[in-house]
Amino acid sequence: MCLDGYNSAIAVTVLGSSSLASMFKTQRPGNLHTRSVAMLLRRALGLLSFVGAALAQEALPYVDPDNGIEFWGITDVVHSVTYGYVFPPLASSGPQPTEYIGEIVAPLDSAWVGYALSGNMIDSLLVAAWPYNGDIVFTTRYATANVLPDVYPGPIITTLPVGTYVNSTHWKTEEVSTSIQRLPFPLGNCHPDPPMFPLTQLRRAQSTIAVDTPSDPGTSMVQHTDFGFYFFPFGEAHVSAELYDNWAAGGTGGGNSTGTGTTTTSVPPPTRTQAPVDYIIVGSGPGGIITADRISQAGKSVLLVERGGPSTWETGGRYQAPWAAGSNLTKFDVPGLFESMFTDPDSFWWCEDITVFAGCLIGGGTSVNGALYWVPSDNDFSTSAGWPQEWVNHQPYTSALTARLPPTDHPSTDGERYLEQVSTVVAEMLKPQGYSNVTINNDPNYKDHIMGYAAYDFIGGQRGGPVATYLQTAQARSNFKLQIYTEVLNVVRNGSTITGVTTNDTSVLDGFYPLNPNGRVILSAGTYGSARILFRSGIGPTDMLQTVQSNPQAAPLMPAEEDWIDLPVGYNVSDNPSINLVFTHPSVNSYDNWADVFTDPPAADAAQYLKSRSGIMSQASPRWNFWSALGAPDGITRWMQGTARPGAASINTTLSYNLTNVFTITAYLSTGIQSRGRIGVNAALNAMPLVNPWLNDKTGSDEAALLTGLNNIISTISQVPGLELIMPDNTISMTEYVKTYDPSTMDSNHWVGSNIIGTTAGKAVVDPNTKVFGTDNLFVVDASIMPTLPYGNPHGTLMSVAEQAAAKILALAGGP
């Protein structure tokens, strides 16, 4: 009998990677959001074609020199922590074994270390270990949601007499873990048919911050200070009963050990080296995918490195809504599941080490957003918007984008629009204010007092974007490779020349990925991710570089101080300040506030979508959009974008209302805003805002313009019978509402500008060719180079940026 089901066997787990974000209670100063961030990959890992990419972090066999136990595991090259496991043989019939032998070897600066064999925090056993008074303390825990897990008393952990110690430099534990019953997948490959995935994703984590009470296995503990991913071949990690029983009883020998009791244990150093390429592109968001496609199209060898995993079905994703089981549709494929991105307890797609919402998966933000898609205007690339003159002629690149990825305002395959009552009501309210009803993308330059149906980059009733278009053509080329679950830590510099990147890939020497002669690195890790990589590479303001230098894991990878490059990385950041107004109208259908779209939507709607990719599920929640130009005390015009959708994320009102009739208008202040913020990293190198970018301009004109726009929106409520504003309610003025608005909910997650483009080093981070000042071959192509916010959501403008940047980089002399 093969292992099967949830009560099958053999495993302990300790904290793993992003699973640890909410595994233990965390109160981190400066966090803008409290959110659940769960594990990567709840189900099987993607299509077979992606397994090769994942192999870069595969566990290898090694022999412990202390006692001769034959483990399979890795040594994390950044923290020098070894994780190893060995399992007893699988039973041919009857109950399966419920134990294993594991080990951790860690330097003393690892206050605690953890691993997760199940690949999931929720409904999985969790284990952590740390040294205390010369001994090792273990904790086993279990969680059913993203909260501090309860202590789980079932497992029994027994340390082995040979191989567990604390010395002057390291601590090491070797333990037998028994009575393990909670694992959501089998640990052996004994299925009747060959398994598609002989490797299972595991997580490892460590912290430099000690637990609250180290003598107590039930202690509280803050989240890890670093984490990583690797893959484990469970089918190969079983040994004979004779060997296993000997080791579990404390015996030595077997394997190749002499049993001499040496004082260190580690996996043999990796011997594989990564093949050099012409271009390493970091991050598979829209900037990275489009740039990689165009550069590989030019015949250059391209390695696209993504720290997360699959998203849509065609990328290998398999995370499905229960009602979509049996279809080729993941959560990320179905537009109507957009609202559930923020409520799903298994939200592995968010980057755990960034304190605002950021997508860590193939497609980045374009795989998890509402996919609103506005063709950029001429003003969005004007010199008045901060762009160098070389960028003003954007139209050839914007046309190339829309030819590959045309927007649509009727994504349902039957051509119908659904759940459009909100559009009708909002249009009735805005028409008396002089708004014209238009097809918005027909004239991108026309953005004053216009309104129309929301436009998306969905294709055939499913999520489209660069993943469904540019990535597919890139993958058809032999000179392109996508590597997932691989995090780039920093670029490797020889003065101004980049020779490659350092990754968390434990299967290659020092995690180093090299470039060909004259090769180039392009950072496309997003406004936060690219800035952090620059900091870790000795590029940025001194205070951030010193923060990195004080981190014991990152410091050894930094260049010498004399090679630091002082640039305003992290400054000049913009994001749309946004305010929600909540209304009710008797004609509106809130669609049960999107509460059950993932678990149990209306059966007829689910069936319609599965049959023909049509109906309510073929569209994300936004239904109607509008723009207006606003005056302000400083004489600078600001623009406001409004987005209307059924339902409401939160309601705080003294008024009675019917939840089935609520809808929200989110008002975003965009082009023309003067407020700026700053982002950076903390001691754990988590990326975060240091100065919020909302409504902080010296004259207060941003706030004044926003108030004008909000008051304009509600000025004609009385002209629409049955329409009522319930938030803010009649107990508070609009001015008070804005002034007391929670800044954490003012965040639109449209962050731009942290690596601003320009013509002068010191005022900008990248030059007009997107090359980082002070370097020969390092570039940035993502939202971080955008100097200001465009009229609408930056999704469309960013994709045009990538088209133009790829062309400029290829045309630049000196490349491969």
Can you say how many angstroms the Cα of residue 341 is from the centroid of all Cα atoms in its chain?
12
First CA to last CA across the chain, in angstroms?
Answer: 55
pLDDT band at 181 (very low <50, low <70, confident <90, very high): low
How far is residue 92's CA from residue 89's CA, in Å, rounded to a whole number?
9
How far is residue 792's CA from residue 387's CA, in Å, rounded to a whole number?
17
Mean pLDDT of 764-770: 98
Lowest-confidence pick of 77-86, 354-363, 531-540 = 77-86
Q: Identify the pLDDT of residue 193.
A: 32
How far is residue 462's CA from residue 605's CA, in Å, rounded to a whole number?
15
Could you tell me the CA-to-CA distances from 77 to 173, 336, 538, 790 in Å, in that order?
A: 19, 42, 20, 42
Could you tell me the CA-to-CA distances from 152 to 125, 141, 216 in Å, in that order?
A: 8, 4, 14
What tens digit of pLDDT does each residue of 480-506 get? 999 998 999 999 999 999 999 999 887
How far is residue 66's CA from residue 261's CA, in Å, rounded to a whole number?
4
From 79, 170, 224, 750, the catalytic residue: 750
pLDDT band at 313 (very low <50, low <70, confident <90, very high): very high
- If we measure between CA atoms, which residue out of 47, 43, 214 comes closest to residue 129? 214
For tokens 């060909």, name the residue: 516
Mean pLDDT of 245-270: 58
- Burial grade of 198 (CB within 10 A; 0-12, 13-18, 19 or more): middle
What tens digit of pLDDT does each residue of 711-742 get? 999 999 999 999 999 999 999 999 999 999 98
> Which residues 6+ apart lie within 8 Å of 443 measured at CB?
none
What tens digit of pLDDT does each residue of 10-31 get? 223 222 222 222 223 222 222 2
Lowest-confidence pick of 134-143, 450-459, 558-567 = 134-143
Greatest pairwise CA separation for the chain in angstroms: 88
How far is residue 309's CA from residue 311's CA, in Å, rounded to a whole number?
7
How far is residue 596's CA from residue 32's CA, in Å, rounded to a whole number?
26
Residue 81, pLDDT > 50, answer yes
> Do residues 422 and 663 make contact, with C-beta atoms less than 8 angstroms apart?
yes
Within 10 Å of residue 193's Cβ, how many Cβ atoms? 5
Q: Identify the pLDDT of residue 118.
A: 60
Range list of β-strands (E), 524-605 = 578-584
Query: Could you give the domains of the chain?
Result: 17-248 (2.60.40.1210)
H or E stretch at 779: strand 778-780
How far is residue 401's CA from residue 470's CA, in Å, rounded to a whole number?
10
- Strands 778-780 and 512-523, by their bridges, are parallel
Bridge partners of 115?
127, 204
pLDDT band at 54 (very low <50, low <70, confident <90, very high): very low
How far is residue 770's CA from residue 778's CA, in Å, rounded to a whole number?
8
**What percentage of the chain has pLDDT greater than the value 70?**
86
pLDDT band at 121 (very low <50, low <70, confident <90, very high): low
- If we measure between CA atoms, which residue out of 52, 556, 77, 557 comes closest to residue 303? 52
DSSP symbol at 75: E
Q: Identify the pLDDT of residue 331.
A: 97
How far is residue 556's CA from residue 549's CA, in Å, rounded to a whole number?
8
Q: What is the mean pLDDT of the chain?
A: 86
Within 10 Å of residue 92's Cβ, how many Cβ atoms? 8
The tokens describing 363, both together, are 């497609």
- Per the model's pLDDT, the better-predicted residue between 176 and 726 turns out to be 726
Lowest-confidence pick of 136-150, 347-361, 445-459, 574-588 = 136-150
Residue 270, pLDDT > 60, answer no
* 750 flagged as catalytic: yes
For tokens 């020779």, name the residue: 499
Mean pLDDT of 55-70: 76
Mean pLDDT of 299-317: 95
pLDDT band at 74 (very low <50, low <70, confident <90, very high): confident
DSSP reduced 3-state for 117: coil
The tokens describing 494, both together, are 């020889």
> Do residues 667 and 642 make contact, with C-beta atoms less than 8 angstroms apart?
yes
DSSP symbol at 390: G
Q: Identify the pLDDT of residue 361.
A: 95
Q: Where are the alpha helices (DSSP H) in 228-327?
A: 241-248, 286-297
> Which residues 6+ apart lie within 8 Å of 657 measured at CB?
584, 651, 724, 726
Q: Identify the pLDDT of residue 284.
A: 98
pLDDT band at 123 (very low <50, low <70, confident <90, very high): low
Could you tell me the CA-to-CA distances from 97 to 16, 121, 123 in Å, in that order?
A: 23, 22, 20
- Burial grade of 729 (CB within 10 A; 0-12, 13-18, 19 or more): middle
H or E stretch at 610: helix 603-612
How far is residue 221's CA from residue 214's CA, in Å, rounded to a whole number?
9
